Structures are given as structure tokens and as C-alpha cells.
Structure 1
Amino acid sequence: MALSMEKIMGIQQYTLGVRTQRAEMIANNIANADTPGYKSKGLDFQQALKQAQRGSESYNLARTHEKHFNVEIKPAGQEKFRVPTQPDTGDGNTVDVQLEQNLYAQNALEYEMTMNFLDGRISGVKKALSGQ
């Protein structure tokens, strides 16, 4: 009987990638908290997870001439603008730093939980293969 990574890891292998994407987006929001006109972005986790499972990360357009730019298009729907939870401060920035920090902490805990789950799965496979 052959083992496949899909059966061993399940959905958690995709979850880890999406949580990484989410952490980068939240960190970017925090980094741009003082940038005038910056709009806070969020990630539709369920939709991003479905796209990760399908393996559709991006699309490359065919180049018909060597001087054309190499263009990569990411699928629509993953990145969304977050609805502001605070009144406009006059500079058009919609980042709520406290909210972003809380979201980052929650995502970090979920990331760690996913890593622990995967570690448990890998340990179980190692034990099974070594006959323990």
C-alpha cells in the first residue's frame, strides 16, 4: 500500500500555506499603518484554502515576443479590502493597528496549532515505519 502526502497530511498542508499568506498580509497592514491612503486588506480564508487545494496559485500569460513583459496574474477573490472599524482620521488610511495586532496573534496561534498537528502526523508515520 502506497502512502501519499495527501492522505498523511490532509487539508493541513494547504492550511499552513494560507495561514502564512494571511500573516504576510496582516504584517503588511501593520507596516503601512501610517501610510496616507493605505487601505487595510484581509484574506478570505475559505476561498484561499479552496484555491490552494486546487493548486491554482497564479496564471502566467504567454509571451508572443521576447520584449514583452512576463505577466503573472493571481486569481481574484483572495485579497479583499477590510471594512474600516474606526472613523476616518483624514488621511484615508483604514488600518486599525490594535485589530491587526489581535488578528496577527490569532493567526500565529492557529499557525502553531497547524504545525503541531502536522508534527503529530509525521511522528505517527515515523513510528509506523520504524515498527514501534
Structure 2
Amino acid sequence: MSALGFQNSLGIHQQALLVRAQRTEVLANNLANSDTPGFKARDIDFEAILRGEVSKNASLPVERTSSKHLAGRGSMNQDMLYRTPYQPAIDGNTVDDNVEHAEFTKNAMAYNATFEFLNSRFTGLRSALRGE
């Protein structure tokens, strides 16, 4: 099976797993800073990123400002948004623990679902290669 055939068999799910992992980091950072005065909660627009992935069928974009920089797996800064709080805190912090926990839980469930899907794909590919 060629590398292109292998990529086609996984579809967008490998990129989705990476984006979900990065979103987990962003949401965890929000939760860790829930008591930091002036901290602004952020999130990733998962659907917009994947729409971009589907349209260009490539890895996440990376801006390299120097030829000496290593190629990375992508920057989410252009796709990160500030969360609008339902009730802003007096100290300027926009983290709502309930919202962040709910988003973190939904993201974790989606991550696990994507992981299980990829795992089943690998199991199927392994069976096909073995001729089972």
C-alpha cells in the first residue's frame, strides 16, 4: 500500500486527533488560569480548522520566519478565539469554570471517539495486510 493509499484510508481523522489534542491544551490552560486576574479564556474553532484541512488536504499551516526554523506541525494562533463570558469577573478574568469543564469534557469524548475510530482502522488495515 502506498503512502497516499495509507493517508486516504485514515482520512481527516489523524489531523482531527492532533487538533483535539491541541484544543485539550488550550482548555486545560484556561482552567489552570481560572483565578488569574485579567486572564482571557481562549478556544480553538475546531470546525474551521478541519474545513481548512479538508479543502487543502494538507497538514496544519506553519509560518516560518527564518530558514533556520524547524518545520512544525502547525500553529493554532490564527484559529484561536477569545471566549465571550456570560458574566465577566471584576478582575477581568473571562474563564467560566462550568463552561470550560463542559467544553473540556466534550473535547475529551470527541478525542476518544476519534482515537477509537483510528484504532479500528489500524486493526482493519493490519488484518488486510495479514490476509485475515
Please state which band the TM-score falls in when normalised by the shorter chain: 0.7 to 0.9
User: Where is the helix percentage greater, Structure 1 or Structure 2?
Assistant: 2
Query: Offset at 1:7?
Result: 1.2
Q: Which runs of 5+ in 1 are unaligned?
A: none
In structure 1, the residue matched to 2:40 is 39
Contact in 2 for aligned 1:47/1:77 (Cα 8 Å): no
In structure 2, the residue matched to 1:78 is 79
Contact in 1 for aligned 2:15/2:59 (Cα 8 Å): no
Alpha-carbon distance in 2 for matches of 1:102, 1:50: 24
Give percent identity, aligned residues only.
35
Contact in 2 for aligned 1:51/1:57 (Cα 8 Å): no
Contact in 2 for aligned 1:39/1:95 (Cα 8 Å): yes
Alpha-carbon distance in 2 for matches of 1:130, 1:61: 45
Alpha-carbon distance in 2 for matches of 1:56, 1:101: 26
In structure 1, the residue matched to 2:98 is 98
Query: Offset at 1:48?
Result: 2.1
Query: Offset at 1:51?
Result: 4.6
Alpha-carbon distance in 2 for matches of 1:40, 1:95: 5
TM-score normalised to the size of structure 1? 0.83
Q: Which runs of 5+ in 2 are unaligned?
A: none
Alpha-carbon distance in 1 for matches of 2:8, 2:59: 16
Query: Offset at 1:46?
Result: 1.9
Contact in 2 for aligned 1:40/1:82 (Cα 8 Å): yes
Structure of greater Rg: 1
Alpha-carbon distance in 2 for matches of 1:55, 1:15: 11
Over 3 Å counting, the alpha-carbon distance change for 1:75 and 1:105 in structure 2 is: closer
Query: Offset at 1:89?
Result: 2.4
Taking the TM superposition and a 5 Å limit, the aligned residue runs for 1:13-28 are 13-28=14-29
